[in-house]
Copies of this chain bind each other. A is one copy, B any other.
Amino acid sequence: VREKGRRRSDAILDAATTLLVDEGYARLSMRRIAARAGIAPGNLQYYYPTKQDVVRALLDRWLARARADAAAAGRERPPEHRLLASLDAVLAEASDANCRLFWDLWALAARDPIVARATRTFYDRYRDAVADALRTVRPTVGRAVAQRRAMLVVALLEGLSVLRIGRPRTGMPDAALRRELRTLVLHLAKEIP
C-alpha cells in the first residue's frame, strides 16, 4: 500500500514542476497541479495538505537534484580544468526556463522562510564547490578567502542570468562577454594576491 503512494507523490511533484517551469509561480494552483497529475483535488490534499507543502517539497527535490548534477559534472573533469569547465556548464544550463524558475524562487524565498532556508543551503553548497575549485587552482589561498572569492564568482553567474532579461532569447552570453568572464575568473583564481 506504500509503493503506490510513493510513486503518486513523486508524480505530483513532476506535474507541479512542469507547471512551474512552463508557466511560472503566478499560474501555479492546486487545482491545476491535480488536473495535470490526473487526480482529483481531494487526493492531492491527501498527499500535500496545503499548497505550501507542495512547493516546499518540489523545491527541496529540485535543488537537491541540481546540486547532485553539478557535483557529478565537476567530478568528471581533471582538477585543473574544473573551474572553467564548470563555468561553461553553468552558463549552458542557464536556459530561459531555468532562469525564470530561479527568479520565481528568489521572490518566493523573500516570503517563505523554509524556501529561503533551502535556497540558502543550495547556494552555500554551490559556493563551497567553487571554493574547492579555486583552491585546486592555487592551494596557497586560505579557506576563508577562497570562500569569499567563490561567493563573488557565484554572484557573477547568477547576476548574469538577470542581465539577460528582455534580451533577444540567446541561450547564454555572447562569446566576447564569455571571454571577459573567463579572464576575470582566472585572474581571481591565479593572480590576485
What is the interface of chain A mostly: helix, strand, loop, or mixed?
helix
Q: How large is the interface on A (under 10, 10 to 19, 20 to 34, 35 or more residues)?
A: 35 or more
Contact between A26 and B163, CB atoms less than 8 A apart: no
Is A151 in the interface zone, CB < 8 Å from B?
yes
Contact between A163 and B154, CB atoms less than 8 A apart: yes
Residues of chain B within 8 A of A181, CB atoms compared: 152
Residues of chain B within 8 A of A152, CB atoms compared: 156, 160, 177, 180-181, 184
**21 sampled A-B residue pairs with Cβ under 8 A:** A24-B110, A26-B107, A100-B107, A100-B110, A104-B107, A106-B107, A109-B165, A116-B165, A116-B166, A117-B166, A127-B163, A148-B177, A151-B177, A155-B156, A155-B157, A155-B158, A156-B156, A158-B159, A158-B163, A159-B162, A191-B191
